[in-house]
Amino acid sequence: MMNRIVRVMRSVDRGDEQGFVLANVIIFGMIVTMIVAAMVALSTAGSLKSGNDRNYQNAAAAAYAGLADYQAKISNDNGYATYGNKDAQFSKDSGSVFQGDNGNVAFTSSGSTWAPVVGTTDEFFRYEVDNSKYASQGFLRVRVTGKSGTKTRSLVADLRGDGFINYLYFTQYESADNDITGDNCTNDYQWQARSRTCDPVQFASGDVLNGAIRSDDDFTACGSTFNSSVEDHSGKVLAPSGCTTTPKYNGGQPSAAAYLGLPSLNTNMAQEARTDLPTTVPRPGCLYTGPTKVQFNSGGTMTIWSPWTRFTQVTATSHSSDAAAADALCGSSAALQSASGATIPTLPTNLMYVQGVPTTKSDPNYWGSSYPQRYTNTYCTTKVTVSGNSVSYSDNQTFSNGVGYPTSNEWIGTDSTPGTASSVYSCTAGDVFVSGRFSGHMTIASAGTVWVTGDITYTDPNDDILGLVGQNAVEVYNPMTCWNYQSVYYQGYGNYVTCRNVQLVRSAGTNLTIDAAIASNNGTFYVQNYDQGSALGTLTVKGSIAQKYRGTVATSNSGNGKVSTGFTKNYIYDNRLLTTAPPKFLQPVSTSYGVTTQVEVQPAYNPDGSCATTGGKCR
């Protein structure tokens, strides 16, 4: 064709007009042909690109659908965190441990099998789970790969349950526990408004809450300051009778929230000291028995006294076969039962659980009718005779529960009515008494009461994290003494020594600080003798508080809401708890799992189902 064009052009040079016209026609035809060819090529390429774009977008949609699928499964069953595929590269690299795949094809890590996205014909997904930090910190990491056509895309997401630890303050009921108060009422919700419902505990005018709060009940407040969100059942905060001061809602007006709930028991935490459950408990913690005292020391150590403890790591029916490892981690029984206690490092990312003295013979910590050596001068084994003013009443002071409570000259009861030491400080319950400057990552859980006997503060507030979980209560130790005894005769009972004047050991205005995530799953967080003496200072909690019943820390003036006895609250949420929890902390009954972080990564799988590689290794 080009030779023809050249000949035509030469004829033009000779003045041949017909040749000139013909040349123009040929050139124009060639241009049109080239344009048409280009348009066809462009159309074909566009069609291919359009298909690829659609597959690329659908692969991302499939990955998000896979993430939603896993979120739904873990939200419906917290135990789903134990399912996965140990052979998946993502899970293998993290050291995750699973008890199976629950028949879920989305856990497939090889071959051509993919889980289909419901409602589509060309979208599929797979996911891999990293549960290595679920038991210790409460979050999961999931890598999800979506596939459509010849395209795959992967994303990694961190999941965390919307539990009570996400809030500075959570309660199931806003009334106090009537087993503690002795009030003749019923612990119902305030929004049920029954005639015998226990009165609510209110936030007072000096109380400041720096964090989100939530209740399955309705809050009551008079002049309090809320610097973050307020959520309760009805979406409103009640005002107590006679209150004239309106609360400040600096974080927005109250809103309604769904039921969250607390587990009724924390005994499942005791299994964290079992050495015969490698799948569910790959890193056993420590078990202590009977009243136990923990003093945190500087430098990341703690001293523990636990006279009833024989074995700190156990199986279902016996003790751990590796006694040396248990002693190194938890302290030897000889040291725990000694006067000086066992000084050990705080448990590394682990849990200590304090159980009551067992009554089952097969339990390795069973004592039968015998007592530990340190129980030779306690009210548990000795009948105390009241004589003059040296001792207030039978089975009280100066004899203790084996770890020093009640203390010398401590008065238990009211001004006119003595109580019994055993009703407050049991000799055999799983109670733990805690104080000191903490360093590390640890949770202390109790089958009874966690007593806070002094300040508990972090050495490094940016790194240290502590959990306190009491089945019955987390209680601030606030003892009284008597400085004026008298003997009173009661018809049919004989002589009783009573106290005409009691006073708190703490001086008026004294402050207390607790750095911890606090939970009482079947009880409350409150202050001992909160209604006695003069007003104390400020109770500062830096962390979170979750409790079944609202705990009382003070009494207040009905008119202006100012504190009359007990502590003024200064509760500050530890924002780190939004993304991490103390090791093996208490889990909610049910929760939804939300995404805290999410990022797209290189595809983990090829469209044929084989793993994508980098440097010859599966990603």
Strands (E), 224-372: 225-226, 230-232, 248-249, 255-256, 286-289, 292-296, 301-305, 342-345, 350-355
- The answer to whether residue 252 scores a pLDDT higher than 90 is yes
Q: Let me know: does 447 contact 470? Beta carbons within 8 Å.
A: no
Give me the pLDDT at residue 195, please: 78
Give me the pLDDT at residue 8, please: 45
Average pLDDT over residues 27-42: 56
Average pLDDT over residues 451-473: 96
Give me the pLDDT at residue 57, please: 93
C-alpha 528: how far from chain center: 25
Please give the structure tokens belonging to residue 167: 């809030």
- The answer to whether residue 34 scores a pLDDT higher than 80 is no
Q: Let me know: does 572 contact 565? Beta carbons within 8 Å.
A: no
Give me the pLDDT at residue 489, please: 44
| Better-predicted residue by pLDDT, 579 or 259 | 259
Average pLDDT over residues 68-75: 89
> Distance between CA 266 and CA 277 in Å, rounded?
18
Paired residues of 130 in beta bridges: 141
C-alpha torsion 506→510→515→518, nearest 10: 60
Give me the pLDDT at residue 554, please: 92
Q: Look up residue 233 and give its DSSP letter.
A: S
Q: Let me know: does 211 contact 168? Beta carbons within 8 Å.
A: yes
Cis status, amide bond into 406, omega within 30 of 0: yes
Give me the pLDDT at residue 397, please: 41
> Distance between CA 342 and CA 453 in Å, rounded?
19
> Distance between CA 380 and CA 378 in Å, rounded?
5
Q: Let me know: does 265 contact 240? Beta carbons within 8 Å.
A: no
Q: Let me know: does 365 contact 336? Beta carbons within 8 Å.
A: no
Among 319, 311, 331, CA closest to 275: 319
Percent share of the chain, pLDDT over 70: 83
Q: Let me know: does 174 contact 200? Beta carbons within 8 Å.
A: yes
Give me the pLDDT at residue 23, please: 53
Phi first, then psi, for residue 42 (nearest 5°) are: -65, -40
Average pLDDT over residues 516-530: 95
The letter for the amino acid at 266 is N
- Residue 303, SS3 per DSSP: strand
Q: For the ranges 93-107, 210-224, 342-356, 489-503, which has the lowest average pLDDT?
A: 489-503
> Distance between CA 545 and CA 570 in Å, rounded?
12
C-alpha to C-alpha distances, 375 to 280, 306, 370, nearest whole angstrom: 36, 11, 10
Q: Let me know: does 167 contact 260? Beta carbons within 8 Å.
A: no
- The answer to whether residue 352 scores a pLDDT higher than 90 is yes
> Distance between CA 491 and CA 65 in Å, rounded?
76
C-alpha 604: how far from chain center: 31
| Better-predicted residue by pLDDT, 242 or 144 | 144
Phi first, then psi, for residue 21 (nearest 5°) are: -65, -45
- Residues in CB range of 594: below 8 A, 6 or more apart: 71, 159, 160, 161, 162
Q: Mean pLDDT across the chain, nearest whole number?
A: 85
> Distance between CA 591 and CA 81 in Å, rounded?
13
- Our CA angle for 425, 431, 432, nearest 5°, is 115
- Give whichever of 44-53, 92-101, 510-519 has the largest mean pLDDT: 510-519
C-alpha 8: how far from chain center: 89
**pLDDT tens profile 374-426:** 676 566 765 444 344 444 333 334 467 889 888 877 888 776 666 777 778 98
The letter for the amino acid at 1 is M
> Distance between CA 303 and CA 346 in Å, rounded?
9
- Residue 484, SS3 per DSSP: strand
**pLDDT tens profile 300-348:** 999 999 999 999 999 988 998 899 999 999 999 999 999 899 999 999 9
Q: Let me know: does 302 contact 558? Beta carbons within 8 Å.
A: no
Please give the structure tokens belonging to residue 573: 């949420």
**pLDDT tens profile 578-602:** 878 898 888 776 567 778 889 999 9
Q: Let me know: does 323 contact 305? Beta carbons within 8 Å.
A: no
- Residue 26, SS3 per DSSP: helix
> Distance between CA 358 and CA 360 in Å, rounded?
6
User: Model's pTM, two decimal places?
Assistant: 0.76
Percent share of the chain, pLDDT over 90: 57
- The answer to whether residue 571 scores a pLDDT higher than 60 is yes
Q: For the ranges 23-27, 39-43, 95-99, 464-468, which has the lowest average pLDDT?
A: 39-43
> Distance between CA 351 and CA 281 in Å, rounded?
11
C-alpha to C-alpha distances, 492 to 122, 346, 367, 495, 496, nearest whole angstrom: 87, 52, 37, 9, 11
